[in-house]
Amino acid sequence: MSILNQFKPEFWQKSELSTGPFRQMFNFRRIWKISVLLTSLVTLLPLIFITSIDYNFTQKSIESENLLRTLRIGSNAKRSISFFLSERISALSFVVRTNDLQELSQPERLRTILTNLRDSFNGFVDLGVIDRNGVQINYVGPYPLEGRDYSKQEWFKEIPHKGFYISEVFLGFRNVPHLIIAAKYTLPDGSFYVLRAALDTTRFNELLRDFELSGRGDAFLINNEGIIQTPTLYHNPVFEKISYTIPAYSTHTEIREEKNKVGEDIIICSSYIPDSPYILIIVKEKDELMKSWRETRFQLIVFLIISISIILLAILGFSTYMVNSMYLLDQRRLSTLHQVEYSNKLASIGRLAAGVAHEINNPLAIINEKAGLIKDIFTYTDTCPQNSRIIELIDSVLASVERCGKITKRLLGFARHIDSAIENVRLDSIITEVLGFLNKEAEYRNITVNVDLADNIPEFQSDRGKLQQIFLNIINNAFSAMDVGGRLYILVRREGEGHVIATISDNGCGMSDTDLGKIFEPFYSTKTKTGGTGLGLSITYGLIQELGGTIHVASRLGEGTTFAITLPLQPPNKSAEK
Amino acid sequence: MHVLLVDDEKEFVTTLAERLSLRRFHVDFAIRALDALSLAEKNVYDLAILDMKMPGTSGLELKELLEKIQTDMKFIFLTGHGSEADYVAGSSESACYLVKPVNIDTLIAKMHEAVKP
């Protein structure tokens, strides 16, 4: 807490004074809060607003870019696969058109064609010629399939209508996945024969694997029932069913979002390969695709947090500085006001005292003369016999009148200088005058006052009234700090050519270092409980400055306090002129 | 020594006049400035003791008027007040300034001092 307190601005540390003569006109904490709040709102709201718009916009554009890219890849893959199949169908059609049944029935010829096809196009495994009855009349390839009857098979029933055929992938005799393609040739008499070839799926799989798919992408083919036709990277093995919904038929490449088995968001791109039983499926994990977005998002959030922190720091610092400056100015204004008020009060008291002293002096003079006359009558005439008792009594009256006269003279002398200006002054007479006011108190409390004035202190030009106030304030404070039997030393010495230094030391209660640092601040008082205003030393400080002097204080708690006042022998404006 | 005593406080002026008379001074007194001026026209005074504040004419004004009648007259001012202006004006002249109540011996000393050639 103490570390925190060190950073607390002055206006925050002071308790609010809402009543009384020293009340502040402004609630500085409230001004600070409003300033911080409004500036923060005005600066941070647009920043947060713009950042959130940017956040959403960037997220959406990255998402749509990912969808678009996947769609494009799907579309390209569809074209490639479609081209792969149609190219081979076209090759078979070409062979069947350029060779008649007789030529194709010759095993050597068919072998040559197979060899040529293998050289020109990848993937051809075998080649067979089937007559209109579905019987394979010629065959070249690794299996003994010659004479095999296909008339009962579905594809053979379809081929007279379609003209060609592409099978699904199956394992066959070799237990190796492959597919069948076939092309029909219609003879002039209306009969037909069919050229049939088995294709190795290796080339097919390579084609699918070659697409560069980011985001744990997987591209494979399924049939209309959802059975996987080609190997997958992250999904079920070939000939098992996919775990996603089979896409509805569409001539276009479609894209949709779904959740996988573990609940992660995925993007599925699907496309029906024309004239085949295949559906191309591309699956991507959305989370992986959005990896770049996450990096951007992190940077965006870090940027926002850093910006907000810097702005808040700047706002806090600036508002605190401004409000504190306002507070200090207000304090100075209040202090000046109170100084004026205090001086006015002193002046009023002075005038009142002068008035009272004058009014008292006249009747006092009459008492003096009357008593004097009584004494004269006893002394100078023979009318009344000498009576020592009466003379004693009259002397006592005269002594009391003289005492009263001294008091009123002192009052008049003090009041005379309240509004005074620069004149010739003697420090010894000022100190004696001030001590005169405190003599009785010193007597009652048994306080010893020692005045040690050097002989070389000249009469000098200064403001008598101000000097009286300065010494009265400091000696008064010393009296307050001392207990019964205290000792006060006043030492006046010449300081160089142009200055005198007056040191006032007491052996009173002293002050702590904390108090010592603040005693000249206005409204700082250690005597608040006994009615101290906290203005005495502040005003003293101001008066000494006005006279061109300085004041220093040293104190030890429990041991006493020493004030050292240095005064110039020339008033400040005259020194400046010189 | 012939002394003119002027003060608006009758009690004060009569008593002081009597006390000075007892000390063998020739004292005339007045409680108004006009009376003082007519006395000055009739008699010659070595010294005038004037109150600073009197109704109508102040001590300083009366001093100027008396000086016109008797140029070599000396002055002592008495006052119950201690205002700066009175003090400066009083002390700048060859006059003496005393604040009431005044010890009779002090006053006599000042009187002798004032008339000393």
Of A101-105, A341-345, A475-479, the poorest mean pLDDT is in A341-345
Mutate to test the interface with B, among A362, A375, A424 (most CBs of B within 10 A): A362
Residue A367 pLDDT class (50, 70, 90 cuts) = very high
Asked if A354 lies within 8 A of B100 by C-beta distance, the reply is: no
Retrieve residue B58's tokens. Answer: 């102040």
Residue B87 predicted with pLDDT over 60: no
Nearest CB partner across the interface for B12, out of A365, A405, A416: A365
CA distance B68 to chain A (A): 29
Pairing of strands A550-556, B74-79: unpaired
B84 touches chain A (CB under 8 A): yes
Q: Which has more pLDDT, A336 or A502?
A: A502
Structure confidence at residue A310 (pLDDT)? 95
Asked if B82 lies within 8 A of A412 by C-beta distance, the reply is: yes
Residue A19 pLDDT class (50, 70, 90 cuts) = very low
Chain A residue whose CA is closest to B99: A409
Token pair 């007597």 is at which residue?
A443
Asked if B22 lies within 8 A of A381 by C-beta distance, the reply is: yes
Nearest to A512 by CA among A547, A553, A480: A553
Structure confidence at residue A24 (pLDDT)? 61
| Answer CATH for A420-571 from 3.30.565.10, 3.30.70.100, 3.40.50.720, 3.40.50.2020 | 3.30.565.10
Residue A28 predicted with pLDDT over 50: yes
CATH number of B2-115: 3.40.50.2300
DSSP class of residue A228? B
Chain A residue whose CA is closest to B106: A402
- pLDDT, tens digit (0-9, with 9 covering 90-100), for A374-383: 998 888 888 7
Residue A248: CB partners within 8 Å, gap ≥ 6? none
CA angle at A336 for the pair A467 and A471, rounded to the nearest 5°: 15
Chain A residue whose CA is closest to B86: A416
Of A34-43, A44-53, A358-367, the poorest mean pLDDT is in A358-367
Residue A275 predicted with pLDDT over 80: yes
Residue A421 pLDDT class (50, 70, 90 cuts) = low
Asked if A373 lies within 8 A of B19 by C-beta distance, the reply is: yes
CA distance A456 to chain B (A): 27
Q: Which has more pLDDT, B93 or A432?
A: A432
From residue A251, give the alpha-carbon distance in Å to each of A82, A258, A272, A282.
Answer: 13, 21, 7, 16
Residue A528 predicted with pLDDT over 60: no
From residue B47, give the alpha-carbon distance in Å to each of A89, A365, B44, B66.
Answer: 158, 20, 9, 11
% pLDDT > 70, chain A: 90
CA–CA separation, A317 and A311 (whole Å): 10
- Long-range own/partner contacts, residues B83-89 (CB < 8 A, 24 or more apart): B83/A354, B83/A416, B84/A416, B84/A420, B86/B52, B86/B60, B87/A416, B89/B60
Q: Where do the structural domains in chain B lie, given as residue ranges?
A: 2-115
CA–CA separation, A469 and A484 (whole Å): 24
Q: What per-residue string of b and e applies to B64-96 under the rule 16 or more CB within 10 Å gives b?
A: eebeeebeebbbbbbbbbbbeebbebbeeeebb
Q: Which has more pLDDT, A353 or A376?
A: A376
Structure confidence at residue A143 (pLDDT)? 83
Beta-sheet strand order (sheet of A124-130): A136-140, A124-130, A192-200, A178-186, A164-166
CATH class given for the domain over A62-289: alpha beta
Of A82-91, A514-523, B8-17, the poorest mean pLDDT is in A514-523
Q: Which has more pLDDT, A115 or A211?
A: A115
Asked if B102 lies within 8 A of A358 by C-beta distance, the reply is: no
Q: Which residues of chain A make contact with B23, given a CB cutoff of 8 A?
A: 376, 380
**Span A122-137, average pLDDT:** 90
Nearest to A141 by CA among A121, A124, A127, A160: A127
Residue B31 predicted with pLDDT over 60: yes
CA distance B22 to chain A (A): 7
Residue B92 predicted with pLDDT over 60: no
Structure confidence at residue A273 (pLDDT)? 93
Residue A22 predicted with pLDDT over 80: no
Asked if B9 lies within 8 A of A366 by C-beta distance, the reply is: yes
Of A83-92, A333-342, B24-33, the poorest mean pLDDT is in A333-342
Mean pLDDT of chain A: 85
Asked if B15 lies within 8 A of A366 by C-beta distance, the reply is: yes
CA distance B100 to chain A (A): 6
Q: Please, is A213 exposed, middle or buried when counting C-beta atoms within 10 Å of its C-beta (0-12, 13-18, 19+)?
A: buried
Q: Which residues of chain B make contact with A366, given a CB cutoff of 8 A?
A: 9, 11-12, 15
- pLDDT, tens digit (0-9, with 9 covering 90-100), for A428-484: 888 888 888 788 888 888 899 999 988 888 888 888 878 888 898 899 888 888 888
Q: Which residues of chain B make contact with A401, given a CB cutoff of 8 A?
A: 101
Structure confidence at residue A232 (pLDDT)? 87
Of A125-129, A192-196, A537-541, the poorest mean pLDDT is in A537-541
**Span A553-563, average pLDDT:** 90
CA R_g for chain A: 58
Asked if B104 lies within 8 A of A365 by C-beta distance, the reply is: no
| DSSP per-residue string spanning A172-194 | TTTT--EEEEEEEEE-TTS-EEE
Contact predicate B60/B90, CB 8 Å: yes
DSSP class of residue A215? T
Q: Where do the structural domains in chain A lie, given as residue ranges?
A: 62-289, 420-571
Nearest to A175 by CA among A150, A201, A193: A201
Chain A residue whose CA is closest to B85: A416
Mean pLDDT of chain B: 85
Structure confidence at residue B94 (pLDDT)? 58
Chain B residue whose CA is closest to A360: B80
- pLDDT, tens digit (0-9, with 9 covering 90-100), for A66-80: 899 889 999 999 999
Question: Which of A40-54, A135-149, A350-364, B67-81: highest mean pLDDT?
Answer: A40-54
Q: Which has more pLDDT, B73 or A210?
A: B73
